[in-house]
Chain A
Amino acid sequence: MGSNKSTIQYIPDVKELIEETGFSAAHIQRLFERFDLLDRDQMGTLRVEDFEAIPELAMNPIGDRIIGAFFSSGKETVDFPTFVRVLAHFQPTDSNRTKNSSQEPYNSPNRKLQFAFQLYDQDRDGKISRAELLQVLQEMLGMQVTDEQLQSIAERAIQEADLDGDDAISFDEFKKSLEKVDIDQKMRIGFLS
């Protein structure tokens, strides 16, 4: 399993990673130790099975989608920088230490919303269609909810959010429907700050 020695020097390009994501060196080290713990076959990358072996994630209703978010680049394994980049989304917005000002920081509210949006939009067409919304609702609701109830909830959700009448929710519409919600508060993990 993970080694106790200070492993920060074994991570390639660690300085760029720190700059890009805004994590401190201590965080990167902890994340690396966690990465190492999850990496069963010790190949330096994580596969789907490594994610699925986490029981709590299996019990999460949208666990599959969360796992999918790590594999969005199409590669079959997740290397450490990708792992860190995904987790960078969950830093609190105000703890922005990145010096790289040209790129939008990972933990901006916009990027956080994009992350959430991608979980809905499985076919990557930039819109949440009714079918996709239905799928998510189905996953998140108990089995007592009937078909018609599901359909009407999805219908109502689209009606509320859809401003341009294309019967789907685009990213901007998604953002607008959540304007009253404090995104940073919702999508943050305290100990990553």
Chain B
Amino acid sequence: MGRMCILCLRYRVVWCALFLLLCFSGGECETQTTQPSGPTSSQGVKPFHNEDPKPQAFPDPEKTNLPVFTMDYPRIQVPFEFTLWVLLASFAKIGFHIYHKITIWIPESCLLICIGLIVGGIMHSVKEEPPAVLSPDVFFIYMLPPIVLDSGYFMPTRPFFENVGTVLWYAVVGTLWNSVGIGLSLYAICQIEAFGVQDINLQENLLFASIISAVDPVAALSVFEDISVNEQIYIVIFGEGLFNDVVTVALYNMFSFMADMPTVESVDVFLGVARFFVVSLGGLLIGVVFGIAAAFTTRFTHNARQIEPLFVFMYSYLAYLVAELFGISSVLSIIICAITMKYYVEENVSQRSCTTIRHVVKVLASISETLIFFFLGVVTITTEHEWNWAYIIFTLVFAFIWRGLGILWFEGAVCFALVFTLPETINRRKLFVTASIAIIIFTVVVQGISIRPIVEYINIRRSNKDKYNINTEIHSRTMEHIVSGIEDLCGQWSHYYWKDKFKKFNDRILRRILLRDNRAESSIVSLYKKLELQSAIGLLDTPMGDLSAAPSIVSLHDEMKEASRPKKKFKTADVRKMQNILAKNMYKIRQKTMAYTNKYKLPDESDTREILIRRHASIRRSLRTTSFRDPPSRNIAKSQNIIRCSRAATWRQLLRSDEEVLVALLHALPSHSVP
């Protein structure tokens, strides 16, 4: 649970940081050229043959010898500096993890900002400007897509679609509530003469509030103890963060347009709402189109496995750019593209391509994020600020209050950078800028640092409650697993009608068109494929990797010997240790959702793999025992026999259905056949 909070926090802050950053540079660097100098202006070593066939108009003033050593910095300046910045930020990241203790208490994002501040301070003192490449275009076009693709690709789709109504509700209504509330309150404050900010009118306040509203300074506390509630809450935060970007952009557009106008008519508000629908539905449509295109393309790539990952990236990037072209929500479009495409692509491509895609998505997102935080720190120092205590403090206060009054207690995403694209006509632009920075830094620092102690406090409180004994812990968990298994057996029943309809549509039409190899019975096989178990199973078959070396079943004879041993006495400390072991090591249920919460790493499927490998080992063991040992004692339930018998059939079936698994399992199947 604690991990979940920390990770949600990180994700949210990236959004804020990104936009804040681009706004900084958007305001300051507009006049600077952003185009790198191309190779045409290089002066390097002149080629022997000039492209210009004219004879030289005038001879060289002096004959120079062939230069042995030349340096041409402008030619490589942009890529060189980019690489250096990335390296610097990455070194910082490595450095944090060496001092492991720091990262436990302070999230990485804080540390990156600090390093950025330091570097910014250095640059400021030597009167250097931040790199010229930091323009809004660079951020929106190059830095944002990897991050969004990462979120979209690793989004757990099943819980998302089940809760899509709630997610959208919170995204839309929550943002509206916050922005209107904060805007009005700030406007009220502006009326008070003592603060000296009377010149900010209502539209400007609303505009500012619409930007701030998605930031949530209230600490992210998930104190819910019921795991099933956790999953829902998690997906609501996750989804809300992604989608209130759409709302915020729409609101921002509407308010900034209105801020320019002397009067606001109701038709403008109506148009604003219409624009919101165009923006969101357009994004959805584009995402779906490109997702289907990608899925269809991968149907034919089985002879060109090496370029399979390329398609995923190219199509999703295209979705993003086309949406930008039309001014509709590119974030929504790339996410929808990733969701649509993932399901079909992962079935069509080879195992290695699948792994490659996942890793590359993570790497790109990680680079972008690191750079963003880093630059946030740098640029903070190097811009001018206007500080008005009252306005800023009240902004913080109102953000707290209105968020608190709202239903959700978790952070939202921020379209922060918009602040910097505010038109110059707004007088108090700098104040807005400063206020935004204050909030974001406050959010990052305070929440980031405070989450861990709070979570620990809650955990301590929980464990001090009525002491369950060992039996209760074990049996409770067993029952939870039973219920989870039976639920999976029954399938999901909420929204049964639409899900069923979609599933039929999917099976009949979509799968036939988009999948190369449409075999319904390969779900277990694809599971093994997905979890990269073939190689693990291959290891299993060597004598060294034999996992059946876990505690074996004692025979009847041994049991009697055990019973006659004197009973061990357990001290309280021992019992507590056992409880700790159980708490940490018992497999959790609903592992799937939690696996996706870790932003910096690939989804953690190690538990699932352990379970499946063990199952494979026990199957093999049971197949062996029926061949080698005495016939099983009559005491073992008939159900076990039935299961054993059908196991052999299942494994043979698995062998038939997938050639990749075949290679791995070929030496696993015993040569004896089972009765």
A binds B: yes
Given contacts A57-B488, A187-B482, A188-B483, contact A74 B639 (CB under 8 A): yes
A76 to B638, CA, bound (A): 9
Q: Is the CB of B638 within 8 A of A74?
A: yes
Given contacts A156-B575, A177-B475, 19 further A-B contacts (CB under 8 A): A48-B643, A49-B649, A53-B523, A62-B481, A66-B489, A68-B639, A119-B482, A131-B559, A140-B586, A142-B610, A143-B547, A145-B585, A153-B581, A156-B570, A160-B471, A180-B468, A181-B475, A187-B483, A189-B483
Q: Which residues of chain A (162-193) have a CB below 8 Å from chain B?
A: 167, 174, 177-178, 180-181, 183, 186-189, 191-192
The answer to the question of A18 belonging to the interface, with a C-beta cut-off of 8 Å to chain B, is: no
Residues of B within 8 A of A156 (CB): 470, 570, 574-575, 578
Q: Which residues of chain A (39-63) have a CB below 8 Å from chain B?
A: 40, 47-49, 51-63
Residues of B within 8 A of A122 (CB): 636-637, 640
Residues of B within 8 A of A34 (CB): 490-491
Nearest-CB distance from B556 to chain A (Å)? 9
Q: Which residues of chain B (426-470) have a CB below 8 Å from chain A?
A: 466, 468-470
**Chain A residues within 8 Å of B, Cβ to Cβ:** 1, 30-31, 34, 37, 40, 47-49, 51-64, 66-69, 71-72, 74-76, 87, 90, 115-116, 119-120, 122-125, 129-131, 134-145, 147, 149-153, 155-157, 159-161, 167, 174, 177-178, 180-181, 183, 186-189, 191-192
Q: Is the CB of A167 within 8 A of B475?
A: no
Residues of B within 8 A of A189 (CB): 483, 486-487, 490
Q: Is the CB of B638 within 8 A of A135?
A: no
Residues of A within 8 A of B481 (CB): 60-62, 140
A187 to B482, CA, bound (A): 8
Q: Is the CB of A152 within 8 A of B507?
A: no
A31 to B471, CA, bound (A): 33
Q: Is the CB of B581 within 8 A of A145?
A: yes
Chain B residue, CB-CB nearest to A134: B551
Residues of A within 8 A of B589 (CB): 60
Nearest-CB distance from A32 to chain B (Å)? 12
Residues of A within 8 A of B575 (CB): 156
The answer to the question of B484 belonging to the interface, with a C-beta cut-off of 8 Å to chain A, is: yes
A1 to B640, CA, bound (A): 29
Chain A residue, CB-CB nearest to B633: A123
Q: Is the CB of B551 within 8 A of A130?
A: no
Chain B residue, CB-CB nearest to A83: B489
A53 to B480, CA, bound (A): 21
Counting chain A CB atoms within 10 Å of each CB, which of B527, B586, B610, B611 scores highest? Answer: B611
Residues of A within 8 A of B468 (CB): 180
Given contacts A140-B477, A156-B575, A186-B479, contact A87 B636 (CB under 8 A): no
The answer to the question of B45 belonging to the interface, with a C-beta cut-off of 8 Å to chain A, is: no
The answer to the question of B94 belonging to the interface, with a C-beta cut-off of 8 Å to chain A, is: no
The answer to the question of B359 belonging to the interface, with a C-beta cut-off of 8 Å to chain A, is: no
Q: Is the CB of A119 within 8 A of B478?
A: yes
Nearest-CB distance from A34 to chain B (Å)? 6
Given contacts A59-B611, A76-B642, A160-B469, contact A142 B475 (CB under 8 A): no
Chain B residue, CB-CB nearest to A135: B553
Q: Is the CB of A191 within 8 A of B474?
A: no
Nearest-CB distance from B551 to chain A (Å)? 5
Given contacts A130-B559, A142-B607, contact A62 B524 (CB under 8 A): no
Q: Is the CB of B551 within 8 A of A49?
A: no
Residues of A within 8 A of B611 (CB): 59-61
A189 to B479, CA, bound (A): 12
One of B301-309, B323-331, B347-355, B560-568 contacting the partner: B560-568
The answer to the question of B201 belonging to the interface, with a C-beta cut-off of 8 Å to chain A, is: no
Q: Is the CB of B485 within 8 A of A152?
A: no
Q: Is the CB of B643 within 8 A of A68?
A: yes
Nearest-CB distance from B36 to chain A (Å)? 49
A186 to B482, CA, bound (A): 10
Checking B485, B507, B582, B618 against A66 with a beta-carbon cut-off of 8 angstroms, the contacting residue is: B485
Checking B472, B523, B591 against A178 with a beta-carbon cut-off of 8 angstroms, the contacting residue is: B472
Q: Which residues of chain B (625-674) have a CB below 8 Å from chain A?
A: 633, 635-640, 642-643, 645-647, 649-650, 653
- For this complex, 29 residue pairs linking A to B, each with C-beta atoms less than 8 Å apart, are A30-B496, A34-B491, A47-B646, A48-B642, A48-B646, A53-B523, A54-B489, A57-B489, A59-B611, A61-B587, A63-B615, A64-B615, A66-B485, A68-B639, A75-B642, A116-B475, A119-B482, A124-B637, A139-B614, A142-B607, A149-B581, A151-B551, A152-B578, A156-B574, A157-B471, A177-B472, A177-B475, A178-B471, A180-B472
The answer to the question of B493 belonging to the interface, with a C-beta cut-off of 8 Å to chain A, is: yes
The answer to the question of B476 belonging to the interface, with a C-beta cut-off of 8 Å to chain A, is: yes
A174 to B581, CA, bound (A): 22
Residues of B within 8 A of A119 (CB): 478, 482
Q: Mark B569-586, 1 if CB is under 8 A from A, else 0.
A: 010001100100110011
A87 to B483, CA, bound (A): 10
Nearest-CB distance from A61 to chain B (Å)? 5
The answer to the question of B535 belonging to the interface, with a C-beta cut-off of 8 Å to chain A, is: no
Chain A residue, CB-CB nearest to B469: A160
Residues of A within 8 A of B488 (CB): 54, 56-57, 60
Q: Is the CB of B486 within 8 A of A64?
A: no
A1 to B582, CA, bound (A): 42
Give how many B residues have a beta carbon under 8 Å from the other chain's beta carbons. Answer: 79
Nearest-CB distance from B322 to chain A (Å)? 35
The answer to the question of B554 belonging to the interface, with a C-beta cut-off of 8 Å to chain A, is: yes
The answer to the question of B521 belonging to the interface, with a C-beta cut-off of 8 Å to chain A, is: yes
Nearest-CB distance from B124 to chain A (Å)? 50
A138 to B549, CA, bound (A): 12
Counting chain B CB atoms within 10 Å of each CB, which of A1, A180, A186 scores highest? Answer: A186
The answer to the question of B608 belonging to the interface, with a C-beta cut-off of 8 Å to chain A, is: yes
Checking A47, A123, A142 against B636 with a beta-carbon cut-off of 8 angstroms, the contacting residue is: A123
Chain A residue, CB-CB nearest to B493: A191
Chain A residue, CB-CB nearest to B475: A178
Nearest-CB distance from B465 to chain A (Å)? 12
The answer to the question of B612 belonging to the interface, with a C-beta cut-off of 8 Å to chain A, is: yes
Q: Is the CB of B570 within 8 A of A159?
A: yes
Given contacts A59-B591, A137-B474, A157-B471, contact A116 B637 (CB under 8 A): no
Q: Is the CB of B472 within 8 A of A131?
A: no
Checking A31, A56, A134, A181 against B476 with a beta-carbon cut-off of 8 angstroms, the contacting residue is: A181
A11 to B483, CA, bound (A): 26
Residues of A within 8 A of B640 (CB): 68, 122
A54 to B488, CA, bound (A): 8
Nearest-CB distance from A22 to chain B (Å)? 16
A73 to B267, CA, bound (A): 71
Nearest-CB distance from B623 to chain A (Å)? 14
Residues of A within 8 A of B521 (CB): 40, 53
Checking B466, B478, B607 against A136 with a beta-carbon cut-off of 8 angstroms, the contacting residue is: B478
Residues of A within 8 A of B65 (CB): none
Nearest-CB distance from B163 to chain A (Å)? 15
Residues of A within 8 A of B615 (CB): 58, 63-64
Given contacts A90-B486, A124-B635, A145-B581, contact A157 B643 (CB under 8 A): no
A124 to B636, CA, bound (A): 7
A34 to B496, CA, bound (A): 11
Q: Is the CB of A141 within 8 A of B527?
A: no
A135 to B636, CA, bound (A): 14
Chain B residue, CB-CB nearest to A68: B639
A40 to B653, CA, bound (A): 13
Residues of A within 8 A of B64 (CB): none
